[in-house]
Amino acid sequence: MPDIPEITPTELKERLDNGEKLTIIDVREPHEWDNGNLEPYGARLIPLGELPTRVDEIPADEEVVLMCRSGSRSGRALELLRGHGHDRLLNLKGGILGWSDQVDPSIPKY
């Protein structure tokens, strides 16, 4: 996917620890969310299939980090939101798997 701005899990954790206001949208399915998520950091679940009808739930004036299992679906979500005029978007590199590897190994991989 061309020109997908990314943030690494380590960078995201540092920014969250510094108190930066970031909106985190997880585009996985509910059963994946139940397996492990970033809800303690304010993440919200909006499955990719529901995103086109729920775009208005995502603030266009805030920095938004999109995430999924590995980074592919969230890259598609980023393109979709970009098409709706959002421009402060970042894709979580490696998704929840990357978060598990780099930040919190207690989140199970699947």
Q: Is 68 a catalytic residue?
A: yes
Question: What count of Cα atoms within 13 Å lies in the side-chain half-sphere of residue 29?
Answer: 3
Task: Please pick, among 46, 68, 77, 81, the residue that the annotation labels catalytic.
Answer: 68
What are the backbone angles phi and psi of residue 6, rounded to the nearest 5°? -120, 160
**Is residue 76 within 8 Å of residue 46, measured between CB atoms?**
no
Which residues are the active-site residues? Answer: 68
